[in-house]
Amino acid sequence: MRDTRIRLCLDQPLGAGQSVLLAEAQAHYLFGVMRLTEGARLLVFNGCDGEWLAEVSEARRKRGALTCLEQVRSQQMPPDLWLIFAPVKKARTDVIVEKAVELGAARLMPVLTDYTNSERFRRDKAEAHVREAAEQCGALWLPQVEDAQPLSRLLQGWPEGRTLFWADESRAGARDSFASAPDGPAGILIGPEGGFSPAERGRLTELPFVHPVSLGPRILRAETAAIAALTLWQATHGDWR
């Protein structure tokens, strides 16, 4: 029986007839937790070769193998959107990462801002979250997770032709909207709790590629702002249209 409820993210190339060896944790999940046996079918993807129907060809306690049967979806690329966010408390940063995968972003870029409460950002943990979220939501790609960098450095090296949507807390009720910017490569910038410093605000206001947007009259938590901004971008410029 084709059990499409199980969807596994792998690190190896996928192709017709391709055999894939499982890591110990994957074997434990499939055979120990999900109780799959030889011959069982599941979906696999690796972020670049599309989605494949695969069959369990070997099921041991700590190892196993799958065989790719047929491609069921061809590879899709994420919308060309970067989510730039100041790390907040761990649980809320986890939410930002999970939701960015569900809603759709190509890169997750943590930045250190003047008011960032300097919570450490664990790139490896975020990458694990990205894989889990992608398995769950049906995404075929994995957003690239970057190490945290200062906001000023990111702005300095900002690429030409990419719009930076700045969720500006002080713009409550302003008329700037996502729809009023042109389509094309984009980034979304979400501040930490407490927003941006006057110096940062001055800088952002001056930069020609920055497009300030309002997220309504109430104070949104950082992860709410990230989800709301991703949603509005997807609905106006992304793959929800």
d(CA 3, CA 146): 34
State the pairing for strand pair 107-112/144-145: parallel
- State yes or no: residue 77 binds its own copies (CB under 8 A): no
Q: Helices 123-137 and 90-103 sit at what angle, rounded to 10 degrees?
A: 40
Give me the least distance between CB of 241 and its own copies, in Å please.
Answer: 9
Are the CB atoms for 51 and 73 separated by under 8 Å?
Answer: yes
Could you report how far apart the first and last alpha carbons of the chain are, in Å? 35
**Whose Cβ is closer to its own copies: residue 120's or residue 241's?**
241
Structural tokens at position 198: 């006057």
Stretch that binds its own copies, among 44-52, 100-108, 122-130, 152-160 (CB under 8 A): 100-108
Query: The tokens 């759709």 sit on which residue?
Result: 104
Give me the least distance between CB of 172 and its own copies, in Å please.
Answer: 9
Q: Which residues pair with 2 in a beta bridge?
A: 41
Give me the least distance between CB of 75 and its own copies, in Å please.
Answer: 14
**Of 117, 177, 180, 205, the one binding its own copies by CB under 8 A:** 177
- State yes or no: residue 88 binds its own copies (CB under 8 A): no
CA distances from 152 to 6, 51, 82 (A): 42, 39, 16
- State yes or no: residue 39 binds its own copies (CB under 8 A): no
- State yes or no: residue 95 binds its own copies (CB under 8 A): yes
Window 129 to 158, contacts with its own copies (CB under 8 A): 136-139
Q: Which residues bind its own copies (CB under 8 A)?
A: 95, 98-99, 102-104, 136-139, 177, 214-221, 224, 227-228, 231-232, 234-235, 238-240
